[in-house]
Amino acid sequence: MSTKRYENGQNVAASEEKAIRTDFKESMTYGEYLHLDQLLTAQDGLSDHHDEHLFIIIHQVSELWMKLILHEMQAAITNIENDQLQPAFKQLARVSRIQTQIIQAWDVLATLTPAEYMEFRHMLGNASGFQSYQYRMIEFALGYKTSHVLKIYEKDPVLLEALTKSYHSPGLYDVAISKLAKAGLPIDQAVLNRAPSEPYEENESVLAAWKTVYSNVDEYWELYQLGEKLVDIEDSLQQWRFRHMKTVERIIGFKQGTGGSSGVHYLKRVLDHYFFPELWKVRTEI
């Protein structure tokens, strides 16, 4: 009896799935849509070491997530400029969720031991995550502009042009501060007229504006939401930076980075940098 029920169940399941497509001679497959032939054959290591596969995939996956972060951030900047804050909030919330993925990626890479990494590290030459152009574009979108890093990308004129455009474009904090001014909150003209490529410096008028927003949440609800979305993103980015620093320390200690940076010492220094300083200081002020 039980066998019959099992067979009947199998027959029912088979009959329900008769519509599944199996002939793809003339139509697109899942793998073709995602270009899996290219994606899954792009892990060509330079050594025969087992763990180089892990090292490459972790960094490739992180770059894919960063591509999506940039996609969402750039859309959010445009929406904020056009006073479309609700879609921007959805996009910025998505960025925060993506950030949890790339933070957790460090836990996987941390399974690589120092002895294992030393077996193929020399094969990397001067290639380094420090050269990630998408990470630089994320920094640019967050308002952290350093012109000297552009020199890294002079080898590729097309890439350099894209980075230069990003470097001179308004970042998230630029458009957020403009929204404060549009809401009637007094912002120094020097801040509003600042070229997007100029490094942002903490400003008392911006702090006062955020203090007004955070002290009058009901009146400035959307600006309050915007401030908190920006804090979410910076908080997660600092967590990512911390996990990066500790993973590097765990694997190579205080050795110099392959790209020539001071390695852990450099990563510790950038932990002290704030993208949206007034949004953190306002917590002490209110």
Q: What is the pLDDT of residues 76-113, one digit of tens each?
A: 999 999 999 999 999 999 999 999 999 999 999 999 99
Name the pTM for this structure: 0.91
H helix and E strand count, the chain: 14, 0
Sign of CA dihedral 226, 231, 234, 237: negative
**Binding site as annotated, residues:** 55-59, 117, 121, 244, 258
How confident is the model at residue 215, as a pLDDT?
98
How confident is the model at residue 125, as a pLDDT?
92
What's the whole-number mean pLDDT along residues 42-61? 96
What's the whole-number mean pLDDT along residues 24-34? 93
**Binding site as annotated, residues for substrate:** 55-59, 117, 121, 258
How confident is the model at residue 4, as a pLDDT?
52
Average pLDDT, the chain: 93
pLDDT at 12 over 60: no
146-196 pLDDT tens trace: 888 999 999 999 999 999 999 999 999 999 999 999 999 999 999 999 999
Give all domains of the chain, ordered by start, each with its CATH number. 50-284 (1.20.58.480)
pLDDT at 8 over 70: no
Residue whose token pair is 């920006």: 230
What's the whole-number mean pLDDT along residues 139-152? 93
> Residue 259's pLDDT band (boundaries 50, 70, 90)?
confident
How confident is the model at residue 9, as a pLDDT?
56
**Binding site as annotated, residues for heme:** 244
